[in-house]
């Protein structure tokens, strides 16, 4: 009888914990983020992110000029946004490439990641660094510096870092094991 009471108490406690966890909802509708990238040549950027990195283009969308102005995005310039995904489903990482017609955006200082503040690089986790580097080479993209470099074992065992620049000079990191 004592074991039965203990079991019932344990089940009641477990049920309370499970119900409490179910009631706690995240403040976020999606655990991934989308990244918008303004580029100087939309076709070069699209080719880099698909052929060299491995994104897949999906349906994009337009933003009317008045809406873009009201949102503080542009000075009434419309946006045509091309969307690219890594993976499938609603949780897939997305990048949104756009070239704003009739503008001449300033280039970022991308000599090093510390050359200026702000978002400095995009990290993409790959399953096979060797295959990723081969894809880069086939697309005519060369890794910078001495990459791929093995990340110190105490930080990430059997993991390599490859850094490239997109056509506008932005840093793109590819991180993963060699197979």
What digits encode the pLDDT tens for the residues 69-87? 999 999 999 999 999 999 8
The sign of the CA dihedral 87, 90, 94, 98 is: positive
CATH of domain 106-179: 3.10.180.10
pLDDT at 21: 54
Three-state DSSP state, 106: coil
pTM of the predicted model, to two decimals? Answer: 0.80
Can you tell me which residue has the tokens 């056509």?
A: 167
For the chain, the domains span 28-105, 106-179
2-45: per-residue pLDDT in tens? 554 444 444 444 455 555 555 577 887 777 889 999 999 999 99
Q: What gap in Å lies between CA 163 and CA 156, rounded to an integer? A: 17
Diameter of the chain measured on Cα atoms: 81
């Amino acid at each position: 009888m004592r074991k039965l009471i203990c079991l019932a108490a344990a089940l009641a406690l477990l049920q309370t914990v499970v119900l409490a966890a179910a009631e706690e909802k995240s403040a976020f509708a999606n655990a991934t983020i989308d990244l918008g990238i303004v580029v100087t040549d939309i076709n070069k950027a699209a080719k880099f992110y698909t052929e060299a990195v491995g994104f897949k283009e999906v349906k994009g969308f337009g933003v009317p000029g008045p809406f873009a102005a009201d949102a503080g995005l542009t000075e009434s310039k419309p946006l045509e946004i091309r969307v690219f995904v890594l993976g499938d489903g609603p949780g897939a990482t997305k990048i949104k490439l756009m070239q704003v017609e009739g503008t001449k955006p300033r280039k970022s200082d991308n000599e090093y990641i510390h050359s200026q503040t702000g978002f400095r690089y995009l990290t993409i986790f790959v399953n096979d660094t060797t295959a990723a580097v081969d894809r880069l080479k086939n697309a005519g993209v060369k890794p910078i510096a001495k990459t791929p470099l093995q990340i110190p074992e105490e930080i990430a065992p059997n993991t390599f870092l490859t850094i490239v620049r997109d056509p506008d000079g932005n840093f793109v990191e590819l991180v993963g094991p060699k197979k």
